[in-house]
Amino acid sequence: MSNREWPLWEVFIRSKQGLNHKHVGSLRAPDATLALENARDVYTRRSEGISIWVVESNYVHASDPSDADSLFEPSDTKVYRHPTFYEVPDGIKHM
Amino acid sequence: MKTMDLQELEKRFQEKIDKEIKIEPNDWMPDEYRKTLIRQISQHAHSEIVGMLPEGNWITRAPNLRRKAVLLAKVQDEAGHGLYLYSSVETLGADREATIDDLHSGKAKYSSIFNYPAVTWADIGTIGWLVDGAAIMNQVALCRCSYGPYARGMVKICKEESFHQRQGFESLVTLCNGTPTQKAMAQDAMNRFWWPALMMFGPSDDESPNSAQSMKWKIKRFSNDELRQSFVDATVPQAEILGLTIPDPNLKWNEETGHYDFSPINWDEFWQVVNGNGPCNKERIEARTKAKEEGMWVREAAMAYAEKRALKKTA
Ligand SMILES: [Fe+2]
Ligand SMILES: [Fe+2]
């Protein structure tokens, strides 16, 4: 019916001071100002956040799920990147 | 060769499902899985939105300010639920406005319960208690749906729904402890909403041919009849506390099965309402179509304003 749809925005919310903004969902809005206002109404009706980011979905670049093996598998095999890989003598504390 | 590939993809897809690995928007999925979800999620979204109509009608007539604030908050939540769900349907590549136009043209369905009118204040309490109660029963099961965005939306919705049912029940407790007229009003609402609420779980298992595939894909975790039975079992004791009579002479605790037995459902009525002949089908669709058509200039103006401002910025 309308010739041009409102763009899609991704919504990120900081639930409290000291925490990251986290993706919570998306919505449609004509511009950033209204996207923020709509995000307030749609995603923070119960004190879910103290700060909102909105990003036009067009600008999100995502990795291809079919590349997941080649991208992430190499780190699965590198157990020496974790402290638990290393043995320390019994007497050592706090390392 | 090509069909082999497809078979292999389908096999891997089913393995993921069997291992309880969620499917995300960009993952490969069978066309039928995508179509089933688009249909189901958009119908769910439509139900949230159309569901605002019978209740919204009572906001200005709520008996006091507390009830009015509560009803307003509930109806606003339902709008939110509709929006989460339209967003999740978009992750499947569906065109949001096209799904809405399908609702308006009658091609897409929504929960048949919203085609019944809310004629008294007791209906509002009853809708919260029984209709939201039945919706919660359905939606809790959907929190474990194999499609990630739908499952996550359901988790958020379920958290919000729990007050919807409680506020309805609380309102009925007040009426049932009130004057005989108030109590009779509550009973009358119960008489009208009980059977339509049971129909909300959809046709019997032997009449729903797509159920088996949905269960295999873990879109559904429980059959319609299983959910309906859980709802009856949970609701009968609540009705007893209210002192309301459930309009079913055959409703009886069955010691052997550990469930309540109840009368067969009038499926003719269900199909009549689903197919457009319920008391309010026409009115509901007209209200939604009018909202879109008469609100269109606002959408267009907002878009034109945003475009003008963006142009100014770059100039
Ligand atoms: Fe809802
Ligand atoms: Fe609700």
Tell me the pLDDT of chain B averaged across its residues: 95
Confidence band, pLDDT 50/70/90 cuts, at residue B4: low
Share of chain B above pLDDT 90, in %: 94
Instruction: State pLDDT tens for residues B55-106.
Output: 999 999 999 999 999 999 999 999 999 999 999 999 999 999 999 999 999 9
Share of chain A above pLDDT 90, in %: 79
CA angle B61, B56, B228 (to 5 degrees): 115
Does residue B260 surpass a pLDDT of 70? yes
Of B87, B292, B302, the CB nearest to A25: B87
Residue A48 forms part of a structural domain: yes
Give the best residue of B83, B105, B157, B308 to mutate against chain A (max A CB count within 10 A).
Answer: B83
| pTM score of the predicted model | 0.93
Look at residue B209 in the predicted model and tell me its pLDDT: 77
Confidence band, pLDDT 50/70/90 cuts, at residue B3: low
Q: Phi and psi (nearest 5°) for A5? A: -85, 150
Q: How far apart are the CA of A73 and the centre of ligand 2, in A? A: 43
Residue A58 forms part of a structural domain: yes
Residue A53 forms part of a structural domain: yes
Residue A26 forms part of a structural domain: yes
B8 touches chain A (CB under 8 A): no
Q: Tell me how many domains chain A contains.
A: 1
Look at residue B46 in the predicted model and tell me its pLDDT: 98
Confidence band, pLDDT 50/70/90 cuts, at residue B211: confident
d(CA B154, CA B248): 32
Max CA-CA distance within chain B?
78
Domain CATH number, residue A50: 3.10.20.520
Look at residue B301 in the predicted model and tell me its pLDDT: 96
Residue A20 forms part of a structural domain: yes
Q: Please count the residues of chain A.
A: 95
Instruction: State pLDDT tens for residues A47-91.
Output: 999 999 999 999 999 999 889 889 998 888 899 999 999 999 999
Residue A87 forms part of a structural domain: no
Chain A residues 25-54 with a CB less than 8 Å from chain B:
25-28, 30-31, 34, 41-42, 45-46
Q: How far apart are the CA of B149 and the centre of ligand 2, in A? A: 19
Q: How far apart are the CA of B78 and the centre of ligand 1, in A? A: 4
**Chain A residues within an 8 Å CB radius of B296:** 1-2
Confidence band, pLDDT 50/70/90 cuts, at residue B299: very high
Task: Please spell the DSSP secondary structure of A28-77, one letter per residue.
Answer: E-SSHHHHHHHHHHHH-TTS--SEEEEEEGGG-----GGGHHHHHHHHHT
A55 touches chain B (CB under 8 A): no
Q: SS3 of B140, please?
A: helix
**Chain B residues within an 8 Å CB radius of A10:** none
Question: Which structure tokens are listed for B248?
Answer: 């079913």
Does residue A93 surpass a pLDDT of 90? no
Does residue A1 surpass a pLDDT of 70? no
Tell me the pLDDT of chain A averaged across its residues: 92
A65 touches chain B (CB under 8 A): yes
Of B24, B76, B87, the CB nearest to A27: B87
Q: How many CA atoms lie within 13 A of B126 on its CB side?
A: 32
Look at residue A95 in the predicted model and tell me its pLDDT: 84
B160 touches chain A (CB under 8 A): yes
ipTM over 0.85: yes
B30 dihedral zone (left: phi>0; alpha: psi -120 to 50; beta): beta
**Chain A residues within an 8 Å CB radius of B292:** 1
Residue A92 forms part of a structural domain: no
Does residue B1 surpass a pLDDT of 90? no
Look at residue A3 in the predicted model and tell me its pLDDT: 58
Of B27, B309, B310, the CB nearest to A65: B27
Q: How far apart are the CA of B157 and the centre of ligand 1, in A? A: 6
Confidence band, pLDDT 50/70/90 cuts, at residue A7: very high
CA distance A32 to chain B (A): 9
Share of chain B above pLDDT 70, in %: 99
Does residue B2 surpass a pLDDT of 90? no
What residue numbers bound the domain in which A27 lies? 8-81
Residue A18 forms part of a structural domain: yes
Report the Cα–Cα distance between both ends of chain B, in Å, rounded: 54
Does residue A2 surpass a pLDDT of 50? no
Question: Closest residue of A to B81, CA-based?
Answer: A42
d(CA B29, CA B15): 12
Which ligand has an atom closest to residue B131 CA? Answer: 2
